[in-house]
Chains A and B, each alone.
Chain A
């Protein structure tokens, strides 16, 4: 059960500060409510505490100097709910797109400094988002990202719905993270309604999450190959990804595993022959993926392009609350799968690359390591058939529930507030949302033509962040 801890508005900073500095908790996202409420979820191990306060005259003290990860959360709350943040200056627009250029870009000036504007429509088959580079010659001094072109108001649309009906909102936030987002949402609702997943449900969800990670990591390795223009690698891994998605379709009826997650249960099952067939096909895929990876490690023209590019320093990764493979590649031993009691990860430890250099090379290598680990986990998990089973009641109910899942891009935190069995507020803070500011940080100092490569090495979703 997640604790809801009311805090007086004037004590907000002190409460967050105490959670982080005295209790060693991590900031896991903040969101505003329609009635002027302001919340922050603090994470410690597998536990979560939600701090809540009411804004005074529409304003709250900013916490960005205590928790830099709250930067976007505060900007979003200002744009969507009109909250003001005392001490957050300048408070730049994030989702609001009507502002003058000067109001949302970083002021950068000097001899020869100019801006290069890219997007929202990009040259390839890529999601929409705008990037504004401040450059001298080819050198990037700073990057302002202006995302949220794909803002669909998913969270607002979920308000007032029955929890089962809002599941599709979490699911359609992003296809590539559909399982992670829906499991996080289902966990949040179960947490609020006092349900606890059965052993079968925990295993089933873990299988789905790892299948999602498998095709995403294959895709991401291929995307980095594309980022350096290494066509054999990008084509080979695109084909492997396609194979992984076909296995999803054969086993569970959908290439992106849509419709496989439900609140308090699971709508799909795998009988022993199906589980065996999937297991066998995954073993073949694992062997081919590792062979493909070996080829990449010997592709000198590709390897020469990875080292020292797009470095995200360890201290920045920690300060900015970066999650997932990007954090681990910079040396942060953080993985939401570790100790997650609502899923089955046994004694999993966060993967660490041979050298946590925080560059494109490290972000590529960590995915190869995790790919292998995921295949091994799936092999073990699929040694038994998957039964339809649910979650059992018996736990205490809570006005707020929290779900936490390690998506292919990192920790996704979903929070649900229920009032009279309806969704009063759903907040989905995906790993992409957490990591986008780090892309800009890792880009500074690099050459403009390297940006697509750096961007691909994070491979964040715009859809997940924009919602």
Chain B
């Protein structure tokens, strides 16, 4: 279930994201690496008034340079592998990678194709896995927050 806002400080410490003392906030940068747009639609609603991810201290940020978490959708097309890597390299460390949706987790309907890397894990170390095709806004928020709560030191 949802973790409370005041737990975020603890989450930051355990996830070793303690940059900026006392800031109970995590920046999430989204990268679409070839999704069907389903995960984007649902992720867009996670920050809408109904689900309101910001109340938990998380927000979508405009640049990977402002981000603690890189949230990636899609099976990672060969054409997006380069830009995805660039975004990851632009992030400050320590950093987390979240794979959002079944495609990003290597379970896309096409299987192995030359146009696809196939999963985020084949390119970057994945810390957080959010399952679903696509996961609903509530499932995205819950799985993201639960995963953050469970991240060990």
Question: Whose C-beta in chain B lies nearest to the C-beta of A147?
Answer: B79
Residue from A151, A152, A238, A255 in contact with B44 in the complex, judged by beta carbons closer than 8 Å: A238
- Judging by beta carbons under 8 Å apart, are B83 and A152 in contact? no
- Judging by beta carbons under 8 Å apart, are A128 and B33 in contact? yes
Interface bits B50-92 vs A (CB < 8 Å: 1, else 0): 1000000000101100000000001101011001000100000
- Count A-B pairs with CB separation below 8 Å: 119
Residue from A125, A150, A238, A239 in contact with B79 in the complex, judged by beta carbons closer than 8 Å: A150
- Judging by beta carbons under 8 Å apart, are B79 and A219 in contact? no
Beta-carbon contacts under 8 Å, A133-165 to B: 148-154, 156-157
Q: What are the residues of chain A within 8 A of B40 when measuring CB–CB?
A: 125-127
A242 within 8 A of B: yes
- With contacts A242-B48, A461-B37 taken as known, whether A175 is within 8 angstroms of B134 at the C-beta atoms is yes
- Judging by beta carbons under 8 Å apart, are A149 and B37 in contact? no
**Most chain B CB within a 10 A radius of its CB, from A126, A171, A172:** A172
- Judging by beta carbons under 8 Å apart, are B41 and A127 in contact? no
Tell me the smallest distance from the CB of A81 to a CB of chain B, in Å. Answer: 15
Q: How many residues on chain B are close to A (CB under 8 Å)? A: 42
B6 within 8 A of A: no
Q: What are the residues of chain A within 8 A of B35 when measuring CB–CB?
A: 127, 150, 463
- Judging by beta carbons under 8 Å apart, are A151 and B79 in contact? yes
A388 within 8 A of B: no
- With contacts A152-B116, A153-B114, A239-B50 taken as known, whether A121 is within 8 angstroms of B83 at the C-beta atoms is yes
Question: Whose C-beta in chain A lies nearest to the C-beta of B90?
Answer: A121
Q: What are the residues of chain A within 8 A of B36 when measuring CB–CB?
A: 172-175, 178, 463
Q: How far is the CA of A350 from the CA of B103 in the complex (A)?
A: 37
Question: Whose C-beta in chain B lies nearest to the C-beta of A226?
Answer: B44
Q: How far is the CA of A151 from the CA of B76 in the complex (A)?
A: 10
Residue from A124, A150, A176 in contact with B80 in the complex, judged by beta carbons closer than 8 Å: A150
Q: What are the residues of chain A within 8 A of B31 when measuring CB–CB?
A: 121, 128
Residue from A125, A169, A239 in contact with B43 in the complex, judged by beta carbons closer than 8 Å: A125
- Judging by beta carbons under 8 Å apart, are B115 and A153 in contact? yes
Q: How far is the CA of A258 from the CA of B116 in the complex (A)?
A: 23
Tell me the smallest distance from the CB of A313 to a CB of chain B, in Å. Answer: 29
A97 within 8 A of B: yes
- Judging by beta carbons under 8 Å apart, are B77 and A149 in contact? yes
Q: What are the residues of chain A within 8 A of B50 when measuring CB–CB?
A: 238-239, 242
Beta-carbon contacts under 8 Å, B1-55 to A: 30-45, 47-50
Question: Whose C-beta in chain A lies nearest to the C-beta of B74?
Answer: A150
- Judging by beta carbons under 8 Å apart, are B37 and A239 in contact? no
Residue from A151, A238, A256, A461 in contact with B77 in the complex, judged by beta carbons closer than 8 Å: A151
- With contacts A121-B83, A125-B44, A258-B133 taken as known, whether A239 is within 8 angstroms of B49 at the C-beta atoms is yes
A304 within 8 A of B: no
- Judging by beta carbons under 8 Å apart, are A150 and B77 in contact? yes
Q: What are the residues of chain A within 8 A of B48 when measuring CB–CB?
A: 235, 238-239, 242
Q: How far is the CA of A151 from the CA of B80 in the complex (A)?
A: 9
Q: What are the residues of chain A within 8 A of B44 when measuring CB–CB?
A: 125, 238
- Judging by beta carbons under 8 Å apart, are B37 and A172 in contact? no
Q: What are the residues of chain A within 8 A of B137 when measuring CB–CB?
A: 242
Q: How far is the CA of A171 from the CA of B44 in the complex (A)?
A: 21
Interface bits A447-465 vs B (CB < 8 Å: 1, else 0): 0000000000000011110
- Judging by beta carbons under 8 Å apart, are A149 and B83 in contact? yes
Q: How far is the CA of A238 from the CA of B41 in the complex (A)?
A: 10
Q: How far is the CA of A331 from the CA of B14 in the complex (A)?
A: 59
Question: Whose C-beta in chain A lies nearest to the C-beta of B42?
Answer: A255
- Judging by beta carbons under 8 Å apart, are A175 and B41 in contact? yes
Q: How far is the CA of A275 from the CA of B153 in the complex (A)?
A: 51
Q: How far is the CA of A120 from the CA of B78 in the complex (A)?
A: 13
- Judging by beta carbons under 8 Å apart, are B60 and A125 in contact? yes
Q: What are the residues of chain A within 8 A of B110 when measuring CB–CB?
A: 152-154, 157, 169, 172
Tell me the smallest distance from the CB of B116 to a CB of chain A, in Å. Answer: 6
Tell me the smallest distance from the CB of A206 to a CB of chain B, in Å. Answer: 23
Q: How far is the CA of A466 from the CA of B48 in the complex (A)?
A: 28
A367 within 8 A of B: no
A101 within 8 A of B: no
- Judging by beta carbons under 8 Å apart, are B79 and A149 in contact? yes
Q: What are the residues of chain B within 8 A of A124 when measuring CB–CB?
A: 30, 60, 62
Q: How far is the CA of A344 from the CA of B153 in the complex (A)?
A: 59
- With contacts A150-B35, A174-B36 taken as known, whether A125 is within 8 angstroms of B80 at the C-beta atoms is no
Q: How far is the CA of A69 from the CA of B1 in the complex (A)?
A: 51
Q: What are the residues of chain B within 8 A of A464 when measuring CB–CB?
A: 37
Q: What are the residues of chain B within 8 A of A151 when measuring CB–CB?
A: 34, 77, 79, 115
- Judging by beta carbons under 8 Å apart, are B79 and A148 in contact? yes
Interface bits B111-136 vs A (CB < 8 Å: 1, else 0): 10111100000000000000001101
Residue from A127, A168, A175 in contact with B109 in the complex, judged by beta carbons closer than 8 Å: A168
Question: Whose C-beta in chain A lies nearest to the C-beta of B116?
Answer: A152
- Judging by beta carbons under 8 Å apart, are A128 and B113 in contact? no
Which 10 residue pairs spanning A and B have beta carbons closest together?
A: A175-B38, A153-B115, A123-B62, A238-B48, A463-B37, A150-B34, A128-B32, A175-B36, A149-B79, A168-B109
Residues of B within 8 A of A (CB): 30-45, 47-50, 60, 62-63, 74-75, 77, 79-80, 83, 87, 108-111, 113-116, 133-134, 136-137
Q: List 23 A-B contacts (CB under 8 A).
A: A97-B79, A121-B31, A125-B40, A126-B32, A127-B35, A128-B80, A128-B83, A149-B77, A149-B83, A151-B77, A151-B79, A153-B115, A156-B113, A157-B110, A175-B38, A238-B45, A242-B50, A249-B136, A255-B42, A256-B38, A256-B41, A256-B134, A462-B37
